[in-house]
Structure 1
Amino acid sequence: MAIVRINAIGETPLLHGSSAATEPALRRADTGDGPAIVMIHGFKYLPGHPMHCPHRHILSLHPEELPWRSPSWPRQLGFGTGLKDEGLAVAFGWQARGGLRAAQRRAGQAGRALAQVVTTLRETRPDRPVHVVAHSLGTEVALEALHHLPAGAIGRVISLTGACYRSRTEAALRTEAGRAAEFLNISSRENDPFDFLFERLIAPPRQGDRALGHGIAAPNAVTLQLDCPGTLAHLDRLGAAIGAPEHRICHWSSYMRPGVLQFYKELLRRPETLPLSLLSRGLPARPTRRWSRLIAPPSLSLPLPFVQKAS
């Protein structure tokens, strides 16, 4: 069984398309020695919805166009190969449609359901690392789970343009589980309009707080700004060939960009080859300013030579 599909119904995890508890299926899953990777979608998905079900889209081995084409997260992260060491994929859905404030509240409930899933995974296979990759508001789900887990329950958390505040993230990383985890904050100035709207619609936990797109300062965290030429050059030297940004505004480039999911696969399946210290070394000293991508002049391809002799 390569993938176990789970949905959070309130604070209760249930198998997708069923009212069955998840614990028996997780305990039966025999998938060799690879890691368990929990994949969490973001805002606007709803399990079972005919047009917005994550299990038919990004969390599927064979995504449908609902209505737009997406890469398969599990396949790009190394699942569906049939190899004995591919590990266990957990496709984690939750009720993320409706207003942003209501969805954020449900993300907290889903995080408590996620903690139950991770607890079962760790009890069943204490030797198997558990990692999490989450997009947008799904990062809130992952952060909430850290508040309800012991040290060592989660190895790495990859946040893809996370829709959450820095102080909320820092508080989660100060928990027992958070201090033992590693947090990779994937950001891009392409996401600036979405960060801006998030800060206007969701009250910050404290005055002056900013969204994760501005970076985070924590000893077990690193921010990788994927529209920054210096960051992309640094990652390329480490063997991660990630395509250049193509848009001024995009909320999905953190998993749509060519090569980026393969980079996450290496981060989760071979974390010892890409430690945080190595990822941090060689990065630009500070992230570029908000709106810098939106207001940047267009790049023009001019014909050569630039100057011609008059005839």
Structure 2
Amino acid sequence: MTDDSRPIRADMGPDGLKLDRERLGRKLDLLPPTAPVVVMIHGWRYAPDFARDCPHGSILSLDPRPDDRRAVSWPRHLGLNGTAGLGIALGWNAKCDPWRAHWRAGRTGAALAEIAGLVHARTGRGVQVIAHSLGARVALAALSQSATDHITRMILLAPAETRGRALAAMGTPAGRSVEVINVTTRENDLFDACFEWGIHLGLRTSIGQGLGRRLPNWHDLWIDQAQTLQALAALGHPLTAPPRRICHWSPYLRPGTIALYRALIEGRLAVRDLPLNRPGRRWSRLLLGGRGWQPGPDACHT
């Protein structure tokens, strides 16, 4: 097969990881030593080869369908063209009810750990990860099955995982060596609440509300807060104001967000330079001025 700029496709299925290892090896051999290798992981309601919900034809593609309003090309905007950086698109079957998707996400962590091991064995370098929603659960689940430095950085977007599981993952050898940027926003409060109550019966808190504890290698980035936006703009990364009060996809749909992640991935921006601000009050994006939110044109629907 002719090599091109498309990401390496990797899929987790009933029989484990499906991956073109020969193409991966060729692309890694041609990659400059300082170029990043980035594993991209989707969240709920995507599934490989599932009609319009295949992630490889959507957010993990260089050329998503133009009529998909939630699809922005992660590899294109992150500069993962196979030369400046290599993208690996990890797909898994999340086209199901949220309970099965939650279970499958944890199981898919083994596939990410395997990919990271293959890359390290071939090149001696670690991979970076960018993941949305339940894809963050995949990413964190991989830490307990990964060796130290196989995964160097994770950028988690509106993540769907609990504080307890995240802290356990960060306590592993791989967790103590990884750098995590937890990108969260009060626009995701409704989705966090559905995750907490629908999956965990209200007994667990989502890391969408922050980790709840200070760790030296974990950074909560609240992109809905005015102080955060001002600080990011001063660093040369202005983000537009949140256009909607409720939206699960704004951490990658808002203009300026993916350029910020690319700067982190390429090392042009250090995590230590990111702003540290307290989160806003929970539900503050819905209860503006004490008025309850009403469904309308500012709702970001699935």
Task: Establish whether residue 225 from structure 1 lines up as the match of residue 225 from structure 2.
Answer: no
2-structure distance, mates of 1:226, 1:115: 29
SS of residue paired to 1:167: helix
Q: Does 1:277 align with 2:269?
A: no
Assess if the C-alpha contact under 8 Å between 2:149 and 2:178 holds in 1.
Answer: yes
Task: For residue 8 of structure 2, give the secondary structure of its aligned residue in structure 1.
Answer: strand
Paired residue secondary structure (1:155): strand
Larger Rg: 1
1:1-311, aligned counterparts within 5 Å? 1-2=4-5, 3-10=7-14, 12-15=16-19, 22-29=20-27, 30-33=30-33, 34-65=35-66, 67-80=68-81, 84=83, 86-126=84-124, 128-203=125-200, 208-216=203-211, 217=213, 218-270=215-267, 273-280=268-275, 283-284=276-277, 286-297=278-289
Contact persistence 2:39–2:90 (CA under 8 A): yes
Give CA deviations for 1:276-295 in whole Å, capped at 9, x if unaligned: 33224xx32x2112100101
Q: Do 1:220 and 1:276's aligned partners in 2 also have CA atoms closer than 8 Å?
A: no
Deviation at 1:55, TM superposition (A): 0.4
Measure, in 1, the Cα distance between the counterparts of 2:12 and 2:192.
25
Structure 1 segments unaligned to the other structure (5+ residues): 16-21, 299-311
TM-score w.r.t. the length of structure 2 is 0.88
Equivalent position amino acid for 2:98 in 1: L
What amino acid is the match of 1:102?
R
* Residue identity matched to 1:258: P
Aligned length: 281
Residues 11/121 of structure 1: CA separation in 2 closer, same or farther (3 Å cut): farther
Q: Report the equivalent of 2:296.
A: none
- Quote how far apart the aligned CAs of 1:170 are: 1.1
In 2, Cα distance between the equivalents of 1:201 and 1:265?
33
- Aligned-partner Cα distance in 1 for 2:15–2:236: 40
Give the Cα separation in 2 of the matches to 1:140 and 1:48.
22
Give the direction of change, closer, same or farther, for the CA distance of 1:119–1:70 in structure 2 (3 Å limit): same
Structure 1 SS opposite 2:131: strand
For residues 49-91 of structure 1, the C-alpha deviation after alignment (integer angstroms, 9 at most, x for no partner) is 11100000000001114643521100110123x7x4x121101
Aligned-partner Cα distance in 1 for 2:14–2:281: 38
Q: 1:10 to 1:290 in 2, by over 3 A?
A: farther
Q: Is contact 1:11–1:112 with CA below 8 Å preserved after alignment? A: no
Percent identity between matched residues is: 41
Q: Compute the displacement of 1:11 (Å).
A: 6.3
Moved more, 162-171 or 28-37: 28-37
Q: Which runs of 5+ in 2 are unaligned?
A: 291-302
Counterpart AA for 1:210: T
SS at the partner of 1:7?
Answer: strand
2-side partners of 1:220 and 1:151: how far apart? 14
Quote the Cα distance in structure 1 between the aligned partners of 2:223 and 2:70: 21
Letter of the structure 1 residue corresponding to residue 253 of structure 2: M
Amino acid paired to 2:210: G
TM-score (norm 1): 0.86
Contact 1:5 1:91 in 2 (8 A): yes
Post-superposition Cα deviations, 1:89-108, rounded to whole Å, max 9, x if no partner, equal 10110001111110011111
The alpha-carbon deviation at position 208 of structure 1 amounts to 5.0
8 A contact 1:58–1:70 mirrored in 2: yes
